Amino acid sequence: MSEQEKDQQKITEEPVKEQEISTVSASDIQDDTVIFSSTSDKEFLAEKEEKNSIEQPSRKSVKKKKKGKKWTGFLVAGIIIIISIGLAFTILTGFNDVFALSKPAISADIEIPSGATTAQISKLLKEEGIIDQPWLFRFVVKMRGEGSGFQAGVHSFSAKWDYDAIIEELNMVPSENPNVIKITFPEGSTLDEIVRLLETNGVCDGDQFLRALEENSFDFAYQDMLTEEKNDSKYHVMEGYAFPNTYNFFKNEDAESVARKFLQAFDEHMQEANLYEQIKSSEFSLDEVITLASIVQAEAGSIEDMPKIASVLMNRIHNSDQYPKLECDPTKSYAKEISGNLKSEGTSDAIAEAYDTYVTPGLPPGAICNPGIDAIQAVLHPATTDYYYFCANIETKECFYAKTLEEHNQNLKKAGLI
C-alpha cells in the first residue's frame, strides 16, 4: 500500500468530531429575551430587523393609510352627488315655476300698490302661492325688459299660469281683463244660491265645487275644530263655511281653486277677529256656533238686532225643558227649499225635517246659510235679556221682542204678521 493510500484510509477511519454548540441553561434566559448561538447570529438578525423597519411600514400603518384614502374618496364623491342633486332640483323647480308644468290649483286676488317694484311684486306673488322662485321671476322680468308698465290695482292670478301669463296680467289695467269675473255673495247666501251664481257666470261646475268643499283637503285652522264624526243628517256638509264676500274668479276656473277662495276667506276673517279662541272658551263647538249664527243672520233685519236675537236663542237653549224647540221661521223655509232637491235625489225627507226647528227640538244638524262675522260675534256675545220670543216686520225689518207668548201674539199684530 502506498503512502498516499495509507493517508486516505486514516482520514476515512478517523471519527468525526461533533460541532461545538453552546448550551444555555434555564437560569440564563430572561423574560422576553432571545439568546442567540453566536455573535454573528445576533448581528445578522439585528441588521435584518433594522432594514425591514426602514424599508417597510408595519401592516397596521399600511391599513390606516389605505383606510384614510378610502374615506376621503367617499367624502368627495358624496359632496359631488349632493351638489349635483341640489343643482338638478333647482333647475327642475325653476323650470316648473317658469312654465307652470305641475303646480297646485291656487288662485288669488292680489293688490299691487302704486309704484311697487318688481321685488315687492314677486314677494306678494310668492306669499299667495302664485310663484315659488321670486328671484327667478325678477330675472325673467328684467331679461324681457318688463316691469315699467305694471299696473297698480287688484289683479287676479292663478298658480297654473306661466310667467308670460302673469306678466301679461300685470301689464293690464285690472278691470280690462275679460277673463276675470267679479261676483258678490251677500251675507246669508246658501250654498245652493252660491252654486247657481258660479254656474250662471261660467266660473265652474257646481257639483265639482260642492265636492271640493266637502272633501275639505285644505290646510286651514278651523279644520282642527271640526268634529270628526260625519253627520248624515246634514244637507250640505260645509254650509256656513263659504264666507260671503266679493270675489274675482276666472272663467272656467278649477273648482278646487274656487272652493279654496271661500274657505280661505272664512279662515282669515275668523282669525282676524280672534273668533277661534273665543269659540274654544265658549259652551259651543265651532259647528254649533256657525249653525246658530246662520239662524241669527237669516232672522236679523240689522246688525244691531243680532245680539238680541242671539239672546232669545240662548234663553231657549238654556231653558230647553220649557222651550224645547227654537221655532225659527228661516229654518222652516230652508227645510222646505231643500226638500224638493232631496226628493229628486231620492233622499228621505227626514233630513229636511231635521232642519225645521218647529218640528225638531234643539239645533238643526247644520247651518241654514253662510253667515257674516257680525252674526258669529252676536252668538258669542249675546245681549243679556229675558226674551223668549221675537218677530219682525217684513217690510220695515223692525224687530219686536217678548217675554211671554201673550206678549208675542200682540207683537205679531204690531208687525203686521197676523
Total Cβ atoms within 10 A of residue 18: 6
Triad 242, 244, 248: Cα angle to 5°: 95
User: How far is Cα 294 from Cα 248, in angstroms, rounded to an integer?
Assistant: 24
Residue 15 lies in a domain: no
Domain end among 177, 208, 239: 177
d(CA 87, CA 78): 14
Decide if 39 is inside a domain: no
Distance from first CA to last CA of the chain, Å, rounded? 176
Q: Which helix (H) or strand (E) holds 182?
A: strand 180-184
| Per-residue pLDDT, 96 | 78
- How distant is the alpha carbon of residue 351 from its chain centre? 33
Q: How many distinct structural domains can be found in the chain?
A: 2
List Cα–Cα distances, 259 to 110, 201, 218, 283, 344, in angstroms.
17, 16, 9, 29, 25
The pLDDT assigned to 37 comes to 45
Question: Which residue segment(s) compose the domain that 158 sits in?
Answer: 79-177
Q: Is residue 122 part of a domain?
A: yes
Last residue of some domain: 155, 177, 199? Answer: 177
The verdict on residue 129 lying in a domain is yes
User: What does the alpha-carbon distance between residue 129 and residue 272 come to, in Å, rounded to a whole number?
Assistant: 20
Closest CA to 125 of 94, 170, 92, 95: 170
Q: Which of 177, 205, 234 is at the close of a domain?
A: 177
Instruction: Find the CATH number of the domain harbouring 151.
Output: 3.30.1490.480
> All 3 cell numbers of residue 334?
230652508
Tell me what pLDDT residue 161 has: 87
Q: What is the pLDDT along the chain (418 residues), one digit of tens a residue?
A: 555 454 455 444 444 444 444 444 444 444 444 444 444 555 555 555 555 554 554 444 445 555 555 666 666 666 777 776 766 666 667 777 887 777 777 888 898 998 899 999 999 999 999 999 999 999 999 999 999 999 998 898 888 888 998 999 999 888 777 888 999 999 999 999 999 999 999 999 999 999 999 887 788 888 888 875 556 789 999 999 999 999 999 899 999 999 999 999 999 999 999 999 999 999 999 999 999 999 999 999 899 999 999 999 999 999 999 999 999 999 999 999 999 888 776 667 889 999 999 999 999 999 999 999 999 999 999 999 999 999 988 888 899 999 999 999 999 999 898 8
Asked if residue 87 belongs to a domain, the reply is yes
Residue 381, helix vs strand vs coil: coil
Beta strands in 50-127 (DSSP E): 107-112
Contact residues for 263 (Cβ-Cβ < 8 A; gap 6+): 213, 216, 218, 220, 238, 241, 242, 243
346's CB contacts (< 8 A; 6+ apart) are none
- By CB atoms closer than 10 A (0-12, 13-18, 19+), residue 27 is exposed
Residue 408, φ and ψ in degrees, nearest 5? -65, -40
Record the pTM.
0.69
Please give the biggest Cα pair distance in the chain. Answer: 177
Burial of 191-200, coded b for 16+ CB within 10 Å and e otherwise, reads bbebbeebee
Q: Do 245 and 185 touch, CB atoms closer than 8 A?
A: yes
Q: Which residues pair with 250 in a beta bridge?
A: 180
CB 373 within 8 A of CB 278: no
Rounded CA separation 351/334 (Å): 11
Identify whether 48 is part of a domain. no
How many CB atoms lie under 10 A from the CB of residue 263? 20
* Residue 364 belongs to some domain of the structure: yes
Q: 7 lies in a domain?
A: no
CA distances from 308 to 311, 326, 386 (A): 5, 15, 10
Contact 299, 328 (CB under 8 A): yes
Q: Which residues are registered as beta bridge partners of 391?
A: 400
Which residue type does 190 have? T
